[in-house]
Every structure is written in C-alpha cells, then in structure tokens.
C-alpha cells in the first residue's frame, strides 16, 4: 500500500516541474506579457489579438520566418496575429548573428527571452503553436502549424 503512495511523489521528483506544470488550452485566459521585438521595440500583449503564433525551436522559427517574409508586410496585422519566437537559451554569439538577420524580416517578431514566458504553452516538435483567441483574450483553439505549408488561421 505504501509503495503506491510513493509513485506520484517519485514521478514529480524524477520528471521535475515540467511533469506537473499546467499547460494552457481552450477556455484559459492568454496571459498578458511584455517583451521586445527584433528591433528592440517594446511590445505589450494587447486585447483584440485573435491569433498567437509561437515558434519554440530554431528550425520551426526559421521556416516560419521564410513563410511570413513571403507574405505582404501587413499579413500578421491583417489577421490580428502576433508572432513570438523563442530566443531563450540562445548564446550571445548566436544572438550576434541571429538578431541582425531577424531585423531584415518585414513582420514583427516578438522575442521570448525568458524561461517562464513560454512554459505554459503547448508545443509540438518542429511545429509552430497556433492559438486562436476570442475578443476577451481567452484561448478558443490550439493548433500546430508546419511552416513548410500554408498557414490557415483559426
């Protein structure tokens, strides 16, 4: 009987906080946040955003950047969308080369540079998370976009 009681505690210890952290999904409020974009301009999440794209991995972010750069400069604004790219953990030398490249893209890239900013969001390997929001900022839908294919907004 005692062995069964130890299993949940053991899974928490072995798997760490990621195993117990809640992942946001439909019905949850999208958390407000502040950051900067690739030009160093301050960004504050605004109500009225309908779609949030989050690239967690460099390969997905690069593919998303290529796709979005091929669209009109107003593409994200036209869809009331925000694009967030994870740069947390990128070494200084990597940033030295990556940020100037990012500045060439016409779309705004909000930079996620903190472990806590992206931790509550669902993710899939090699995909960009696509969150559809309602007018109150609640998450309506969660999807995953392969940036090698056309983006379909929720």
138-152 pLDDT, tens per residue? 999 999 999 999 998
Radius of gyration of the chain (CA): 17
Number of H helices, E strands in the chain: 6, 7
Of residues 17 and 122, more confidently modeled: 122
In the chain, where are the structural domains located?
A: 23-145
Task: State yes or no: pLDDT of 77 exceeds 60.
Answer: yes
> Where does residue 84 fall: left (phi above 0), alpha (psi -120 to 50 degrees), or beta otherwise?
beta
What's this model's pTM, rounded to 2 decimal places?
0.82
pLDDT score of 60 more than 50: yes
| Domain 23-145 listed as CATH 3.40.50.720 | no
Higher pLDDT, 93 or 35: 35
30 burial level (CB within 10 Å; 0-12, 13-18, 19+): buried
Reply yes or no on whether the pLDDT at 89 is more than 80. no
Q: Do β-strands 51-55 and 81-86 pair in parallel, antiparallel, or remain unpaired?
A: parallel
Whether residue 107 has pLDDT greater than 90: yes
Residue 32 has pLDDT above 80, yes or no: yes
pLDDT band for position 3 (50/70/90)?
Answer: very low
CA dist 89 → 30, 56, 114 (Å): 23, 11, 8
Question: Quick one: how far is CA 139 from the chain centroid?
Answer: 13
* Residue linked to tokens 């998303």: 64
What confidence category does residue 91 fall into, taking pLDDT thresholds of 50, 70 and 90?
Answer: low
């Amino acid at each position: 009987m005692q062995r069964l009681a130890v299993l949940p505690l053991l899974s928490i210890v072995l798997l760490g906080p990621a195993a117990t952290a809640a992942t946001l999904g439909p019905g949850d409020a999208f958390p407000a946040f502040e950051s900067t974009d690739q030009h160093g301009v301050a960004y504050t999440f605004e109500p009225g955003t309908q779609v949030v794209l989050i690239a967690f991995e460099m390969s997905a972010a690069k593919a998303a950047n290529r796709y979005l750069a091929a669209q009109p400069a107003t593409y994200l604004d036209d869809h009331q969308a925000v694009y967030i790219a994870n740069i947390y953990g990128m070494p200084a030398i990597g940033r030295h080369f990556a940020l100037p490249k990012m500045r060439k893209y016409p779309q705004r890239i909000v930079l996620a540079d903190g472990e806590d900013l992206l931790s509550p969001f669902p993710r899939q390997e090699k995909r960009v998370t696509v969150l559809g929001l309602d007018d109150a900022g609640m998450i309506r839908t969660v999807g995953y976009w392969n940036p090698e294919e056309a983006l379909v907004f929720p």
